[in-house]
Amino acid sequence: MKKLANTLFGDFLSLIFPEFCVCCNESLLKGEAQICTQCRYDLPITDYHLHRQNILSQRFWGKLPIEYAFAYLKFTKGGKVQKILHDLKYNGNQEIGVMLGKWYGQLLVDAGLAKLDADEAAKEEVFQVILPIPLHKAKRRKRGFNQSDCFAEGLSATTAIPWHSTALVRNKATKTQTKKGRMERWQNVENIFEVVAPEIVKGKHVLLVDDVVTTGSTLEACAQSILQAGAVKISIATLAVAI
């Protein structure tokens, strides 16, 4: 009876406050959440998880010894992925970040890149801990959350790989990177990340997670700090890639 009452109440609420698809703004149907079925079907998913050498992993050649570089979705200006990222970051829709993390985690499991059995994972060449790129504390306070935490939480939910939000710290806020040259960008991000809980990364294959990757210089700087702190391997997974 309680369940029925909850369902009726939910139906009642959706009549007064209908929910809309983040991507196309159409009303969501019963059973849909955040993204409608058609938009989910049309999401521009990359195949990077199926190819160890891909255009994202190439961005790190000669800079960082990474094992895998994955990105779930292709970012295009004005496209569905831009709407998703905007809703996540600026409308505080943390739920969509977690949901997409779950969907991507399932793809990684299906591709054999994450084992649901923890003992098996320790033996295989798969990730042992997920770390989201941290925001500087002033920025985090302003936004109220770290969007990369949401994606990491979702990935962890379907892969059963633990995630930590406090092992890494970002020591200074970086200014916009777009107008700087490569050397300046590198100097801008060098040494800004610190591993404050090295026992979490020591001897492990770390999956470093971010919302969107453009040049890769932030991920590169963060990954270097993690390797220096004693991680044996590093891989990268982002919610979106700008190509």
Euclidean distance between CA atoms 209 and 105, whole angstroms: 12
Q: Which of 10, 13, 20, 24 binds Zn ion (CB under 5 A)?
A: 24
Q: How far is the CB of 32 from Zn ion (least distance, A)?
A: 9
- Work out whether 84 is an interface residue with Zn ion (CB under 5 A): no
Within the chain, residue ranges assigned H as helices are: 2-16, 37-42, 80-90, 94-110, 118-123, 137-143, 147-159, 182-189, 217-228
Span interacting with Zn ion, options 38-46, 110-118, 176-184, 210-218, rule CB under 5 A: 38-46
- Work out whether 192 is an interface residue with Zn ion (CB under 5 A): no
CB nearer to Zn ion: give 9 or 20. Answer: 20
Q: How far is the CB of 150 from Zn ion (least distance, A)?
A: 20
Q: Which of 21, 56, 207, 213 binds Zn ion (CB under 5 A)?
A: 21
Number of residues in contact with Zn ion under rule CB under 5 A: 5
Alpha-carbon distance values, 24 to 40, 56, 75, 146, 167 (Å): 11, 28, 16, 25, 37
DSSP symbol at 45:
B
**Residues at the site binding Zn ion, with contacts judged by CB under 5 A:** 21, 23-24, 36, 39
